[in-house]
Structure 1
Amino acid sequence: MKRIDEVLGELTLPAYTTAEDVCFALRAVAVHAAEQWPGGAVCRNDRAPHPCRLHRWGLRVLTDRGLSGEQIAEMAAAFEASKVRS
């Protein structure tokens, strides 16, 4: 049986990236973060092998906007911290 990623393929990137796309991408990276299980890393949200489709899409959008991996990680951590406070 094929994994869902193999069946559905990659999510397409927007033709041009808006501020709203950046917000969605940041949320995708933060919500679909890795969680360690005995069988390996899985997506915290949908239990697909990490990185899942939405996490990869978010990384591609943010990278296309010129953000480095370190900046993306910091923004995702800040996003998670803001959720805890609210």
Structure 2
Amino acid sequence: MRVGEQSTDPIDLILGEVPVPAPLTPEDVRLAVRAVVVHAAEEWPNGPLCRNDGAAYPCRLHRWGRRVLENHGLNERQIEALIRHGNPFVHVPFPFVLTGPAPVRTDRPVPPSLRGQAGRGAAPGVRPAIRPGGPGRPVAPPATTPRWPRAS
């Protein structure tokens, strides 16, 4: 059975589909990732079955997780990468953007106290952080987060 087809499982016929929440929350996305990874397909002689509950693949929770992740903005390739990765606790950013983290705003003017410090490694318009132990020593900005997905 394909992902978009109607199931013939008696439980699915009685219970129907699990509804997708209207406003998605970060918890919904985390649960959807767990659902698609834990309820992935496992090959059997009579066809693919759900790895978790032995129902015909895709089971109700796998279909629900796919719908939630698609509503969140992931495409089919990214969902398959999550499943291949195999970690049900992988982090999907909320809100999800295809191009990575949100760009840094540069439309704010640089305060006069920071104009001379732009060449010292501080981003323009960003105030350098002060370490609690040393008087006035700038702290290096945190490393940028890796682009998502990191599935190998």
TM-score, structure 2 as length reference: 0.50
**Change over 3 Å in CA distance of 1:8–1:46 after alignment to 2:** same
Q: How many angstroms apart in 1 are the aligned matches of 2:88 and 2:58?
A: 21
Matched, 1:64 2:71: yes
Cα deviation code 1:36-56 (max 9, x no counterpart): 111111100000000000000
3-state SS in 1 of match to 2:87: helix
Aligned partners of 1:46 and 1:26: how far apart in 2? Answer: 17
Normalising by structure 1, we get a TM-score of 0.86
CA contact 1:27–1:76 (8 Å) conserved in 2: no
One-letter amino acid matched to 1:12: P
* From 8, 14, 17, the counterpart of 1:7: 14
- The code of the aligned residue for 2:22 comes to A
Structure 1 runs of 4+ aligned residues shifted over 4 Å read none
User: Distance in 2 between the 1:49 and 1:23 partners?
Assistant: 23
Q: Percent identity?
A: 52
- Please name the residue that 1:43 is paired with: 50
1:24 aligned onto 2:67: no
| Gap runs ≥5 in structure 1 | none
Name the larger-Rg structure: 2
Structure with the higher fraction of residues in strand conformation: 1
What's the Cα RMSD here?
Answer: 2.0
* Structure (1/2) with the larger helix percentage: 1
Q: What is the number of residues matched between the two proteins?
A: 82
